[in-house]
């Protein structure tokens, strides 16, 4: 089986590179992909779905040229192929109503502000991919070294 | 009743009621004709000069409610309302002559106008309408002035806050920027000496940065996977470096280095590149904000505007790589200017143009930079073939808080053009924009000082 994907979306290439470095910890178990716009991410998602690859997590900026992050995630939320995909909103600029839309309509799992703390990001990612593995019923033992045990116990 | 018949009526009134030498006198500038509340049973006509009617505002100030010049009436309200009590303080603004009639004025017969009121009505109503119009205009002017005052107060306090913030941030940014530079130089020297094999990858990343977009990386990954028969993860790492496949082959074949190592050293270089860009960007943002509350910068004689344009292009660095730049620079006389300010103008305009074209994904994005000398002024034109600026936006584009920029890091406070206008203004210059889809031109005109014109 192909490794599940973690996809980072941000219009700033330097931010993507930094995220990629932070996520290197998961490199052995997940493919880390980057996209510079929502439309690029949409193309990537549909080609991954065509190849029956899993998308475990989206880490997405909000304010980008073209479609913004929350609108993009709302669309993904309505796509049954990605019903277990977790979403982190990572942004330096979002209004109150943006945040409401993110929670109510996009079902965003976590909201992180830029600049972010790497330790915090890693622990959140760990929890979210643990939930993802559990919900999708993927072979848990394979991923065990990088899963969050507390979350795993909670989920039974 | 049309204009000419009103004029006729006025002429008739002048001849029949206001031509008597008995009911006529001079009033000196500054003298009071009557005060508000005074008994007044006269209707005055201004023969020459000007009289103003003042009322007091509740706050103690007073303003001219009406101005009556030649052939206009004073005392209209008290006369025609038949209260015969003055409603305003009427003062001569200049040496004037007035004629008057009293409430017991004998009626002069006119065909079709049976009473004094009938005869006066058209003319007096015209006068009153004029007064009302004037009052409205006064109100609008006052409103505009208040708005302007509020705005400049807002900008001043914003400027103060910005200057404080900029000062605090500047120290932090200076430390980051200088030390990034220092680290970069030293790592460069160490790697070159101790790790000659890995050094080229560092150097490539350090010089070129992350030159491939995420979609280009994906395409490059596929190419490398097939060419080198590598696993996806390794291919992706090599692809990210942006090193062309043929060059990579040389390294891989000759030195048998693996993808992780190549990527690792390349990433150190590319990260330094990122850090320098980010530090420079932060410094630029601080400079822009600081300019809000800025005092005048020192200006040098004989500054070459063309050179300031080149500096701006250099400052923008990789940002300009995505567009084709065409320059047509004329021979220019030197001007008295501060190079920092000029660079700020150009950088901002160029950056706006590039970002607009990037956001709109303009095909064959192109920037034309022209300079010329005409009528004692240096003109700089910055033209792009982007989507253009909508008409309604063109009108307000130099006001603060107007932005079309969405991206977090491109600093969409909407201050750029208002700062630029302020700078250009301080050179007694002008900035203007002409825009339609496919062609937007910003023109900056800077007069050459006296010594050269």
CATH numbers and ranges of domains, chain B: 3-106 (2.60.120.10), 163-291 (no CATH), 299-447 (3.30.565.10)
- In chain A, residues with a C-beta closer than 8 Å to the C-beta of B357 are none
Cβ–Cβ below 8 Å for A114 and B408: yes
* The pLDDT of residue B408: 38
- Distance from the Cα of residue A8 to its chain's centroid: 7
* The pLDDT of residue B256: 60
Confidence tier at B253 by pLDDT (50, 70, 90): low
Cβ–Cβ below 8 Å for A36 and B277: no
- In chain B, residues with a C-beta closer than 8 Å to the C-beta of A68 are 406
Task: Give the range among A95-99, B355-359, B381-385 with minimum mean pLDDT.
Answer: A95-99
Mutate to test the interface with A, among B209, B211, B214, B354 (most CBs of A within 10 A): B214
CATH 3.40.50.2300 fits A5-116, yes or no: yes
**Is the predicted pLDDT of residue B139 greater than 80, yes or no?**
yes
Residues of A near B (Cβ–Cβ under 8 Å) read 11-14, 16-18, 21, 27, 31, 33-36, 40, 44, 61, 63-66, 68, 91-93, 114
Mention every residue, 6+ apart, whose C-beta is less than 8 A from residue B323: B354, B357, B365, B366, B367, B384
Confidence tier at B420 by pLDDT (50, 70, 90): confident
Mutate to test the interface with B, among A11, A16, A72 (most CBs of B within 10 A): A11
**Is the predicted pLDDT of residue B452 greater than 70, yes or no?**
no
Residue A14: Cβ within 10 Å count: 19
Cβ–Cβ below 8 Å for A65 and B271: no
**Is the predicted pLDDT of residue B266 greater than 90, yes or no?**
yes
B350 and B366 in contact (C-beta within 8 Å)? Answer: no
* The pLDDT of residue A95: 77
| Average pLDDT, rounded, for chain A | 91
Q: Which tokens sit at B68?
A: 């009556």
Q: Select the more confidently predicted residue: B367 or B153.
A: B367
**Is the predicted pLDDT of residue B29 greater than 50, yes or no?**
yes
Q: Select the more confidently predicted residue: B318 or A141.
A: A141
- In chain B, residues with a C-beta closer than 8 Å to the C-beta of A1 are none
Q: Which tokens sit at B288?
A: 């822009």
First to last CA, chain A: 25
Q: How far apart are CA B417 and CA B292, in angstroms?
A: 11
Q: Select the more confidently predicted residue: B230 or A42.
A: A42
Cβ–Cβ below 8 Å for A17 and B407: no
3-state secondary structure of B399: coil
- Whether the CA torsion B289, B292, B297, B300 is positive or negative: it is positive
- In chain A, residues with a C-beta closer than 8 Å to the C-beta of B225 are none
- B positions 270-309 inside 8 Å of A (CB): 270-271, 274, 277-278
Q: Which chain B residue is nearest to residue A10, measuring alpha carbons? A: B407
pLDDT 10s digits, B81-110: 889 999 889 999 999 999 999 988 888 888
Q: How far apart are CA A95 and CA A87, in angstroms?
A: 18
- In chain B, residues with a C-beta closer than 8 Å to the C-beta of A93 are 408
The strand order across the sheet containing A5-9 reads A31-35, A5-9, A55-60, A86-91, A110-113
Q: Which chain B residue is nearest to residue A61, measuring alpha carbons? A: B408
Mention every residue, 6+ apart, whose C-beta is less than 8 A from residue B47: B18, B24, B70, B96, B97, B98, B99
Average pLDDT over every residue of A100-121: 88
- In chain A, residues with a C-beta closer than 8 Å to the C-beta of B278 are 14
- Quote the percentage of chain B above a pLDDT of 90: 36
- Whether the CB of B210 is below 8 Å from some CB of chain A: the reply is yes
* The pLDDT of residue B403: 62
What residues does each domain of chain A span?
Answer: 5-116
Q: Which of B109, B54, B55, B101 is nearest to B80 (CA)?
A: B101
- In chain B, residues with a C-beta closer than 8 Å to the C-beta of A7 are none
- In chain B, residues with a C-beta closer than 8 Å to the C-beta of A24 are none
- In chain A, residues with a C-beta closer than 8 Å to the C-beta of B407 are 11-12, 63-65
- Whether the CB of B233 is below 8 Å from some CB of chain A: the reply is yes
The strand order across the sheet containing B62-68 reads B32-34, B89-92, B51-56, B62-68
**Is the predicted pLDDT of residue B453 greater than 60, yes or no?**
no
**Is the predicted pLDDT of residue B278 greater than 80, yes or no?**
yes
Q: How far apart are CA B351 and CA B410, in angstroms?
A: 9
Q: Which of B214, B407, B408 sits opposite A35 (nearest CB)?
A: B214
- Quote the percentage of chain A above a pLDDT of 70: 99
Average pLDDT over every residue of B245-265: 78
Q: Tell me the nearest-neighbour CA distance from B274 into chain A, angstroms.
A: 6
- What φ, ψ does residue A145 adopt, rounded to 5°? -60, -25
Average pLDDT over every residue of B144-153: 79
**Is the predicted pLDDT of residue A82 greater than 90, yes or no?**
yes
- What φ, ψ does residue B316 adopt, rounded to 5°? -75, -20
Q: How far apart are CA B213 and CA B211, in angstroms?
A: 7
Q: Tell me the nearest-neighbour CA distance from A66 into chain B, angstroms.
A: 7
Q: What ipTM describes this predicted complex?
A: 0.78
Mutate to test the interface with B, among A8, A17, A46, A113 (most CBs of B within 10 A): A17
Does a cis peptide bond (omega within 30 degrees of 0) precede residue A115? yes
3-state secondary structure of B365: coil
CB pairs under 8 A between A and B: 53
**Is the predicted pLDDT of residue B125 greater than 50, yes or no?**
yes
- In chain A, residues with a C-beta closer than 8 Å to the C-beta of B233 are 27, 31
* The pLDDT of residue B27: 94
Confidence tier at B257 by pLDDT (50, 70, 90): low
Cβ–Cβ below 8 Å for A31 and B213: no
Q: Which of B210, B232, B233 sits opposite A13 (nearest CB)?
A: B210
Q: Select the more confidently predicted residue: A26 or B161.
A: A26
Mention every residue, 6+ apart, whose C-beta is less than 8 A from residue B110: B12, B16, B119
| Average pLDDT, rounded, for chain B | 84
Average pLDDT over every residue of B148-160: 73
**Is the predicted pLDDT of residue B63 greater than 80, yes or no?**
no
* The pLDDT of residue B451: 44
* The pLDDT of residue B404: 60
Highest mean predicted confidence (pLDDT) among A46-55, B322-331, B423-432: A46-55
In the numeric block, the tokens 């470096």 are attached to B241
* The pLDDT of residue B450: 54
Residue B368: Cβ within 10 Å count: 17
Confidence tier at B228 by pLDDT (50, 70, 90): confident
Mutate to test the interface with B, among A4, A7, A8, A14 (most CBs of B within 10 A): A14
- Distance from the Cα of residue B63 to its chain's centroid: 33
- In chain A, residues with a C-beta closer than 8 Å to the C-beta of B218 are 33, 44
Cβ–Cβ below 8 Å for A33 and B210: no
């Amino acid at each position: 089986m192909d490794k599940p994907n973690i996809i980072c979306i941000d219009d700033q290439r330097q931010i993507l590179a930094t995220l990629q470095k932070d996520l290197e910890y998961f490199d052995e178990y997940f493919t880390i992909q980057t996209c510079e716009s929502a439309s690029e991410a949409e193309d990537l998602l549909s080609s991954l779905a065509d190849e029956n690859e899993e998308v475990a997590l989206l880490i997405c900026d909000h304010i980008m040229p073209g479609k913004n992050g929350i609108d993009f995630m709302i669309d993904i939320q309505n796509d049954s192929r990605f019903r277990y995909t977790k979403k982190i909103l990572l942004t330096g600029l979002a209004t109150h109503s943006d945040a409401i839309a993110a929670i109510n309509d996009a079902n965003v799992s976590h909201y992180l502000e830029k600049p972010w703390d790497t330790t915090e990001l890693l622990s959140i990612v760990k929890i979210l991919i643990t939930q993802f593995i559990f919900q999708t019923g993927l072979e848990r033992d394979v991923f065990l070294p990088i899963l969050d045990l507390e979350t795993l116990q909670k989920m039974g | 009743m049309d204009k000419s018949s009103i004029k006729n009526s006025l002429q008739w009134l002048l001849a029949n009621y206001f031509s008597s030498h008995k009911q006529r006198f001079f009033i000196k500038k500054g003298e009071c004709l009557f005060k508000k509340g005074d008994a007044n049973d006269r209707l005055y006509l201004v023969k020459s000069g000007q009289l103003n009617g003042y009322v007091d505002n509740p706050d103690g100030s007073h303003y001219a409610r009406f101005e009556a010049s030649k052939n206009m009436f004073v005392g209209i309200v008290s006369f025609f309302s038949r209260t015969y009590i003055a409603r305003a303080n009427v003062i001569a603004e200049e040496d004037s002559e007035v004629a008057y009639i009293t409430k017991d004025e004998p009626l002069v017969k006119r065909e079709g106008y049976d009473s004094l009121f009938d005869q006066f009505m058209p003319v007096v109503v015209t006068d009153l309408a004029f007064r009302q119009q004037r009052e409205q205009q006064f109100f609008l002017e006052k409103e505009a002035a208040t708005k302007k005052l509020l705005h400049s107060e807002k900008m001043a306090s914003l400027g103060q806050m910005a200057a404080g913030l900029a000062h605090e941030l500047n120290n932090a940014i200076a430390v980051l920027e200088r030390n990034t530079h220092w680290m970069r130089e030293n790592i460069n020297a160490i790697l070159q000496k101790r790790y000659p094999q890995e050094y080229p990858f560092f150097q490539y990343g350090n010089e070129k940065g992350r030159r491939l977009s995420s979609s280009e990386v994906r395409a490059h990954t596929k190419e490398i996977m097939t060419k080198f028969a590598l696993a996806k993860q390794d291919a992706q790492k090599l692809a990210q470096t942006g090193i062309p496949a043929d060059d990579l082959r040389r390294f891989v074949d000759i030195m048998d280095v693996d993808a992780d190592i190549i990527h690792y050293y390349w990433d150190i270089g590319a990260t330094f590149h990122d850090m320098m860009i980010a530090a420079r960007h932060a410094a630029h943002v601080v400079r822009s904000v600081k300019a809000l509350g800025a005092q005048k910068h020192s200006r040098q004689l004989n500054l070459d505007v063309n050179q300031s344009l080149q500096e701006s292009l250099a400052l923008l660095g990789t940002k300009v790589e995505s567009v084709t730049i065409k320059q047509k620079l004329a021979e220019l006389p030197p001007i008295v200017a501060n190079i920092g300010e000029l660079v700020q103008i150009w950088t901002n305009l160029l950056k706006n143009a590039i970002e607009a074209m990037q956001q709109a994904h303009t095909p064959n994005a192109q920037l034309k930079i022209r300079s010329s000398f005409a009528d004692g002024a240096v003109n700089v034109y910055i033209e792009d073939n982007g989507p253009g600026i909508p008409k309604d936006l063109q009108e307000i584009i130099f006001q603060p808080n107007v932005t079309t920029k969405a991206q977090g890091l491109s600093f969409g406070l909407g201050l750029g053009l208002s700062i630029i206008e302020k700078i250009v203004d301080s050179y007694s210059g002008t900035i203007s924009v002409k825009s339609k889809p496919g062609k937007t031109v910003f023109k900056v005109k800077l007069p050459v000082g006296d010594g050269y014109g």
